């Protein structure tokens, strides 16, 4: 029976132990689990807040990246338009310069041709005047004397030499 005394339950000790267990559970719950839950909840809230901030920053960065890419595309398109416009302007100015040079060259050619024609007329008129003068001189000499055949040849040769020198 001694073995039975070791295993017996004393009701007041059992009640005290159960009360002690409930008090310990209450104290652990109140002073240990509750603050730990609060700390974990705060850490969870902080972590969620940081994740939200990170997501917002990521969305803002993506929006800025898209805006930057759009700006770059617009800048490239604008640069291409400027280059195209500059090329067209340069071609137009080049055509204008070439056309102006051609017009000036044609005007200079026409002017030179007119001057050449005028100089030619002037030379022909001077030659006619000289020939006319020589013919008058020859006629005067013929009238002054009677011409023999030898004199006639000499006058013609002299006339030809004078015409050759005048040319």
Taking a C-beta distance cutoff of 8 angstroms, is the pair 130, 147 a contact? no
Rounded CA separation 126/113 (Å): 20
Q: Is residue 1 predicted with pLDDT exceeding 60?
A: no
Q: What average pLDDT does the chain have?
A: 85
Looking at per-residue confidence, does 5 or 134 come out higher?
134
Q: Is residue 98 predicted with pLDDT exceeding 90?
A: yes
Predicted local confidence at residue 145, as pLDDT: 59
Tell me which residue of 139, 133, 132 sits closest to 155, measured CA to CA. Answer: 139
| pLDDT tens readout for residues 56-80 | 999 999 999 999 999 999 999 999 9
Q: Of the given ranges (32-41, 72-81, 114-123, 140-149), which has the lowest mean pLDDT?
A: 140-149
The secondary structure of 41-83, three-state, reads: HHHHHHHHHHHHHHHHHHHHHHHHHHHHHHHHHHHHHHHHHHH
Tell me which residue of 116, 115, 162, 102 sits closest to 137, measured CA to CA. Answer: 162
Q: Tell me how crowded residue 166 is: count the other CB atoms within 10 A of its CB.
A: 13
| pLDDT tens readout for residues 13-48 | 999 999 999 999 999 888 888 888 999 999 999 999
The answer to whether the pTM exceeds 0.85 is: no
């Amino acid at each position: 029976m001694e073995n039975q005394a070791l295993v017996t339950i004393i009701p007041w000790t059992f009640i005290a132990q159960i009360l002690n267990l409930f008090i310990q559970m209450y104290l652990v719950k109140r002073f240990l689990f509750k603050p730990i839950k609060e700390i974990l909840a705060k850490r969870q809230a902080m972590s969620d807040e940081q994740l939200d901030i990170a997501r917002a920053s990521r969305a803002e960065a993506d929006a800025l990246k898209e805006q930057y890419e759009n700006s770059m595309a617009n800048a490239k398109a604008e640069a291409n338009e400027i280059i195209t416009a500059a090329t067209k302007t340069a071609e137009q100015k080049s055509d204008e310069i070439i056309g102006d040079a051609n017009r000036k060259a044609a005007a200079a050619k026409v002017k030179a041709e007119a001057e050449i024609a005028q100089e030619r007329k002037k030379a022909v008129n001077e030659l006619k005047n000289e020939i006319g003068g020589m013919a008058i001189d020859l006629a005067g000499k013929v009238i002054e004397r009677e011409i023999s055949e030898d004199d006639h040849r000499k006058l013609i040769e002299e006339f030809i030499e004078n015409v050759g020198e005048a040319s």
